[in-house]
Amino acid sequence: MTDSTQTARDADELAARQETVRDFQRRWNRFARQWRKASQESQAAGEEMVRTALAQGLAPVTDRDPAPPPLDVQLNAACAVVAASGYFDAEEYAEEHRLRLGVEPVRHFVEQGWLDLRAPSLRFDLWSYWATHLDPTATQVNPLLHYLLVGRHAGLAPIPDQSPLRSPTRLEGTPKRVCLFAAYDRDGLIDDYVVDYLTELARHADVYYLADGVLEPGEREKIAGITKGAWSVPHAAYDFGSFSMLARDLVGWDVFDGYDEVILANDSCYLLRPLDEVFERMDARACDWWSLQLTSMEHGEAYDGDDDPIPLAEAKDRFLGPRKWNDVNYLHLSSYFLVYRRPVISDPGFRFRLDTVSGQRDKMLVVHKYEVGISRYLMDAGFDFDTFIPDLYAFHPLYSHQVFELIERGFPLIKRNFLGENSMHVLDVDAWPERLRAVAPDAPVEQIAANIARVSPGDRLHEAYGVHLDDAGRRIVPPRAVWGNALRKLDVESPGFGHWWAFLTNHATGRLDPGLRAVFEQVRHDPSIRKIVLTGPRPLDDDLAGEHVTVLPANTVDGQRLLVRSGRILVDAEPNLAVKLPLAPARHDFIHAGLGLPLLPHAVSAHPDGEWRKLKAMAVVSQADALVRAAADPDLDLRKMWDTGLPRHDFLLADRLPADLAAEESRLRERIGDRALVVWWVRDACHHTPEEIARIVAWAREHDVAVGIRESRVERVDGWLRAFTEDEHDHGIVSLNARTSPWTSLIHRVADAVVTDHAPEAFDALVLGTPLIRYAASRADSTDVAGGRVSAVFEGDGWPSVAHAGDTDALLAHLHAAADDGFAKRTVGDRPGVVPLDGQASWRFAQRLRELDLR
């Protein structure tokens, strides 16, 4: 959006760093080769080479690029150099980083340790050196090797010099502020609490918003009047990724020149009270940057030691300066709320560090490199900081028992993860609404509770809210779910009951899939069958009240106790978690509710990992279905096929639905209104050009059609929802994604046409006679394996025909034809050899399940 000179400067700097890295690689490659040759001759010669290299450095390679030697040679050479350097304290390294017995410390550091930013000794600051002299976005060169063999001979310092404290910045008049806000919501929503938080921030600053991920259509409108700019981009680089992208690409550094303070904030906290007091108090303080509180995991580390708060000045005195073994032990200001003043904003080192934030494989590295890394860069560079809470509390106080005390002292925020996960196992967090009201009477308790209920996995809440004192005054933490052998043992040491039926919810939707729900409905009010519903990472979103129904998170010991007693475990769609658990197939019958005729070629194949070996039975619609399944997967045979019809099809045809589903269906119909609904059910990534998308959108507008997007994974750069909603005010696009929207069978009931590359959905559309276009634009097999063979199974057998499209032109032709036809339903005729679609499939299926006990 903006091409600021700052960004260009940082790009030049980065290019220079990359050249440094390449130069070192050339020197290193040659050295490693020569070292191998020398040490093959004699050990002493190899050692001598290392000594020389350490003493004199490596000479530049000018003539030609030496090829890199094999990895193990490089690692051996690196071990030899690091071990002989005097910058590696093997014993302390092993102890501080808790290596397993038998792991060689030097080898660990050279292979993995430096990538995890594990300090080799207190005499070398790995990340500071890396970010100051090498390429912080890449992991090609071990910074310690560079320092030992090149850097120190060029006069570089192993640990940053402590700059003297600059004279702190005083604000004059009313400061102008700008705020960069980083958000993430797994449902693609902008929650009410975020809107309120942004509204409050907007009273004090110009706010720019960036959500990591793909927002649902229309969400950005909620904050349009509040923010100066709002974007969503899936980058998976956490909050610093968003800050970086905002500063570098979306807002631009030059915009910041007009402001006195830049605020970085994220949505990991709930706002409890207005921020006036915070800004008022901090405006009067002289400092270069500030936050609400200070963190050092070093304070209070010994659990039997003193963990009283320390005044800020004393904390700086005690903890600033010396290097630490572990980066979280550095004094730092956390990224949920950071404020920088002019000297910091215009500091090139700071800008470079924020500009070069890149995605990390581990969240811990994001914390170490950016949250702690930028903090300690500023501290080392002599920028003085201050905090709203004038003391350093032990550990991370926002996750500890001191939370409510801090709020009483005026702290304006509370961490979502404290209330939803309670990882420090603080007592009685389940009573947070009362405790919060006591210290912050105006806190939006209902809003917070609603958000926690929406985003927190059940097992986490179970643990978070289960920490209490027992009668003897000891803290009791609920036991965690067991795995592997412990689960196997639990399994064989528990009784099993054929009348306990386990239903596992779908991880993506937090609901029972249609097939399972249909079976559940059959036994919902039967007192003689115990129904066990086990939930995954999402809270249960169905109304499953009934006789003898138990709902528990699967990933808890209580949930597992019920699962191991369940004689029948029902499986729908893909093999789910239940099938992957090490439960003895002799004690549990895994029954699959069926997929249906494989319409699309790539869907019929043996299941990898042989996970379907455990299946005791699977529902099929016809002998043809049974034959295809049995032929395709060696783990399935004809004896395992139940010709009951598919339970999920009962919902496609039913006149009456269970109340919660009926309500959901009418909500969906309301959203669509009078328009026709074409469901875009494509699993593959979007390979379309914007023009092709525009043509489809134009077609939809021409025929007054709502295009409903449903995809398996929304949060990807090449997702369909993202492609279709580039033009954000187009109301012709409706999101039907699993994270917020209805359940597949309901979509089929409402759909007027289906475009898909996914076999079960194609089959369900066929069953209903909904116009179906099989679309495989991005697949190489779109023409060769296509239609011909598959529709041969159907043509003339009573099934309606399927339209096939391999590219946008063909697709649009089919769409136009369907629209001109008024999206008329196709006739589903008499199909020989097929179980009738009479709405009784789930009854027959349940009956077979009951009969298993009579064998």
Partner 1 sequence: MPDPKDNDEIARLTAELATARAELAALRKEQESWAEKEIKIRVDRDRAIKAAGEFATALAARLRIENAGLGKGAEILRKRFRPPSRTEAVHLELIRDSDLFDAPWYLRAYPDVVHLGMDPALHFLRHPFEPFRSPSEHFNIAQYCVDHPDVLKDKVNPLVHFLLSPESRGAESYPPRRR
Closest separation in Å from C-beta 500 to partner 1: 9
Stretch that binds partner 1, among 84-92, 247-255, 492-500, 686-694 (CB under 8 A): 492-500
| One character per residue 535-574, x = contact with partner 1 (rule: CB under 8 A) | -------------x--------------------------
Among 306, 493, 655, 851, the residue binding partner 1 under the rule CB under 8 A is 493
Shorter beta-carbon distance to partner 1: residue 493 or 691:
493
Helix axes 126-133, 373-380, angle to 10 degrees: 80
Closest separation in Å from C-beta 501 to partner 1: 13
Shorter beta-carbon distance to partner 1: residue 256 or 395:
395
Residue 425 binds to partner 1 (criterion: CB under 8 A):
no
Given its phi and psi angles, is residue 57 left (phi above 0), alpha (psi -120 to 50 degrees) or beta? left
Closest separation in Å from C-beta 302 to partner 1: 8
Distance CA 173, CA 170 (A): 10
| One character per residue 443-482, x = contact with partner 1 (rule: CB under 8 A) | ----------------------------xx-x--------
Closest separation in Å from C-beta 854 to partner 1: 13
Strand partners for 151: none
| One character per residue 771-790, x = contact with partner 1 (rule: CB under 8 A) | --------------------
Stretch that binds partner 1, among 39-47, 365-373, 489-497, 714-722 (CB under 8 A): 489-497
Shorter beta-carbon distance to partner 1: residue 469 or 824:
469
Shorter beta-carbon distance to partner 1: residue 497 or 794:
497
The structure tokens listed for 303 are: 């659990």
Stretch that binds partner 1, among 348-356, 495-503, 644-652, 814-822 (CB under 8 A): 495-503
Residue 484 binds to partner 1 (criterion: CB under 8 A):
no
Closest separation in Å from C-beta 616 to partner 1: 21
Q: Which of residues 283-322 bind partner 1 (CB under 8 A)?
A: 303-304
105 C-beta neighbours (distance < 10 Å), count = 22
Residue 494 binds to partner 1 (criterion: CB under 8 A):
yes
Among 89, 526, 728, 807, the residue binding partner 1 under the rule CB under 8 A is 526
Residue 100 binds to partner 1 (criterion: CB under 8 A):
no
Contact 607, 613 (CB under 8 A): no
Distance CA 180, CA 263 (A): 6
Shorter beta-carbon distance to partner 1: residue 529 or 750:
529
Residue 528 binds to partner 1 (criterion: CB under 8 A):
yes
Shorter beta-carbon distance to partner 1: residue 417 or 494:
494
The structure tokens listed for 605 are: 């194949």
Distance CA 741, CA 724 (A): 17
Residue 499 binds to partner 1 (criterion: CB under 8 A):
yes
Contact 131, 353 (CB under 8 A): yes
Looking up tokens 């559940």 gives 520
Shorter beta-carbon distance to partner 1: residue 37 or 525:
525
Closest separation in Å from C-beta 305 to partner 1: 10
Stretch that binds partner 1, among 391-399, 494-502, 746-754, 839-847 (CB under 8 A): 494-502
Shorter beta-carbon distance to partner 1: residue 241 or 567:
567
Shorter beta-carbon distance to partner 1: residue 62 or 528:
528
11 C-beta neighbours (distance < 10 Å), count = 13
CA dihedral (607, 611, 614, 618) positive or negative:
negative
Closest separation in Å from C-beta 526 to partner 1: 6
Residue 495 binds to partner 1 (criterion: CB under 8 A):
yes
Distance CA 563, CA 501 (A): 9
Distance CA 607, CA 393 (A): 53
Contact 439, 407 (CB under 8 A): yes
Distance CA 344, CA 350 (A): 7
Shorter beta-carbon distance to partner 1: residue 496 or 539:
496
Closest separation in Å from C-beta 733 to partner 1: 48
Q: What is the DSSP string of 421-462?
A: T-TT--TTGGGHHHHHHHH-TT--HHHHHHHHHHHS-HHHHH
Please enumerate, as own/partner, the contacts of 626-633 that have beta carbons within 8 Å and a separation of 24 or more: 628/597, 628/598, 628/604, 629/595, 629/598, 629/604, 632/598, 632/604, 632/605, 632/606, 633/605, 633/606, 633/607
Strand partners for 677: 706
Contact 551, 518 (CB under 8 A): no
Q: Where do contacts with partner 1 occur on this chain (CB under 8 A)?
A: 303-304, 471-472, 474, 493-495, 497, 499, 526-528, 548
